[in-house]
Structure 1
Amino acid sequence: MDQAPAMQPQRVIIPYRPRFPQTVIHPNLESHRFNVVVAHRRMGKTYLAINHMIKMAVNLRLPHGRYAYMAPLLKQAKMIAWDYLKRFTIPFPGRKVNESELWVEIPNCNGTTSRIYIMGADNPDAIRGIYLDGAILDEYGQFKPDVWGSVIRPLLADRNGWCVFMGTPKGQNQFYDIYLYAQKAMAENNPAWYCALFRADETGVLSPQELEDMRRTMSDAQFRQEFLCDFTASADNVLLTIDIVTAAAAKIFTPRDLQGSPKILGVDPARFGDDRSVFVPRWGLQMLNPEIYRKVDNMTLVGHLTRKVESFRPDMTFCDAGHGAGIIDRMRQLGYVDITEVAFGGTPIAPNQYVDKRSEMWGLMYEWFLLGGAIPNLPELKTDLVVPTFSYDANNRMKLESKDDIKKRLGKSPDLGDGLAVTFAFPVQPKDRMEAIAQYRQQGGVVFARQDFDPFKD
Structure 2
Amino acid sequence: MIEFLAALAYDPVAFVYGAFPWGEGDLKGQEPQVWQLDLLADVRDGLKVPGQVIREAVASGHGIGKSALVAWLVLWAIATHEDTRGVVTANTDTQLKSKTWPELARWYERFIAKELFTYTATAIFSNEPGHERTWRVDAIPWNEHHSESFAGLHNQGKRILLVFDEASAIANVIWEVAEGALTDRDTEVVWCAFGNPTRTSGRFYDCFHRDRALWHTRQVDSRSVAISNKELIAEWARTRGEDSDFFKVRVRGVFPSASELQFISSALVEAAVQRVVHPHEFDFAPAVIGVDPAWTGEDSLEVFLRQGSMCRHLASYEKNDDDVYMAERIAYLEDKYHAVSVNIDQGYGTGIYSVGRNMGRAWHLVSFAGKPRDDYYANKRAEMWGDMKEWIKSVGALPDDEELRDDLTGPEAFVNGSGRLQLESKADMKKRGLASPNKADALALTFAFPVRASPRARGAAMCNTVYDPFA
TM-score grouping bracket, smaller chain normalisation = 0.5 to 0.7
1:297 is the counterpart of 2:321: yes
Normalising by structure 1, what TM-score? 0.52
Distance, in Å, in 2 between the alignment partners of 1:147 and 1:451 is 57
Q: Deviations over 1:165-210 (max 9, x none)?
A: 999982349x705879x9xxxxxxxxxxx9599xxxxxxxxxxxxx
Distance, in Å, in 2 between the alignment partners of 1:283 and 1:364 is 14
1:327 is the counterpart of 2:352: yes
1:153 is the counterpart of 2:180: yes
Q: 2:399 aligns with which of 369, 376, 382?
A: 376
Contact 1:168 1:229 in 2 (8 A): no
Q: Deviations over 1:229-287 (max 9, x none)?
A: 5485334xx43223222222222323232221221111011233333321122121122
Distance, in Å, in 2 between the alignment partners of 1:77 and 1:304 is 58
| CA distance 1:283–1:168, shift in 2 (3 Å) | farther
- Paired residues in the alignment total 306
Say what the alpha-carbon RMSD is for the aligned residues: 4.9
Distance, in Å, in 2 between the alignment partners of 1:227 and 1:250 is 29
| CA distance 1:218–1:128, shift in 2 (3 Å) | farther
Per the alignment, residue 372 of structure 2 pairs with 348
1:416 is the counterpart of 2:439: yes
Name the SS of the counterpart of 1:279 in structure 2. Answer: strand
Per the alignment, residue 468 of structure 2 pairs with 456
Distance, in Å, in 2 between the alignment partners of 1:243 and 1:140 is 25
1:263 is the counterpart of 2:287: yes
Q: 1:360 aligns with which of 370, 380, 383?
A: 383
Unpaired segments of 5 or more residues in structure 2? Answer: 1-34, 58-72, 78-83, 87-153, 186-191, 213-239
Contact 1:263 1:282 in 2 (8 A): yes
Contact 1:128 1:151 in 2 (8 A): no
Contact 1:277 1:293 in 2 (8 A): yes
Distance, in Å, in 1 between the alignment partners of 2:381 and 2:273 is 23
AA aligned to 2:400 is N
Q: 2:423 aligns with which of 389, 400, 407?
A: 400
Q: 1:245 aligns with which of 269, 275, 281?
A: 269
1:103 is the counterpart of 2:24: no
Contact 2:257 2:267 in 1 (8 A): no
Distance, in Å, in 1 between the alignment partners of 2:313 and 2:253 is 28
Per the alignment, residue 244 of structure 2 pairs with 219
Per the alignment, residue 305 of structure 2 pairs with 281
Distance, in Å, in 1 between the alignment partners of 2:274 and 2:253 is 18
Distance, in Å, in 2 between the alignment partners of 1:278 and 1:77 is 47
Distance, in Å, in 2 between the alignment partners of 1:353 and 1:100 is 54
Unpaired segments of 5 or more residues in structure 1? Answer: 1-72, 83-98, 106-114, 132-136, 159-164, 183-193, 198-214, 437-448
Residues 114-125 of structure 1 correspond to what in structure 2 (within 5 A)?
118=54
Distance, in Å, in 2 between the alignment partners of 1:410 and 1:153 is 17
AA aligned to 1:241 is S
Per the alignment, residue 189 of structure 1 pairs with none
Contact 2:193 2:204 in 1 (8 A): no
Name the SS of the counterpart of 1:370 in structure 2. Answer: helix
Offset, 1:154: 5.2
Name the SS of the counterpart of 1:277 in structure 2. Answer: strand
Q: 2:197 aligns with which of 143, 150, 170?
A: 170
Contact 2:291 2:342 in 1 (8 A): yes
Contact 1:169 1:230 in 2 (8 A): no
Name the SS of the counterpart of 1:265 in structure 2. Answer: strand
Per the alignment, residue 221 of structure 2 pairs with none
Contact 1:224 1:233 in 2 (8 A): no
Offset, 1:152: 3.9
AA aligned to 2:441 is D
AA aligned to 1:415 is N
AA aligned to 2:156 is G
| CA distance 1:417–1:128, shift in 2 (3 Å) | same
AA aligned to 1:455 is Y
Distance, in Å, in 1 between the alignment partners of 2:333 and 2:457 is 22
Name the SS of the counterpart of 1:289 in structure 2. Answer: strand
Distance, in Å, in 1 between the alignment partners of 2:254 and 2:45 is 38
| CA distance 1:139–1:281, shift in 2 (3 Å) | farther
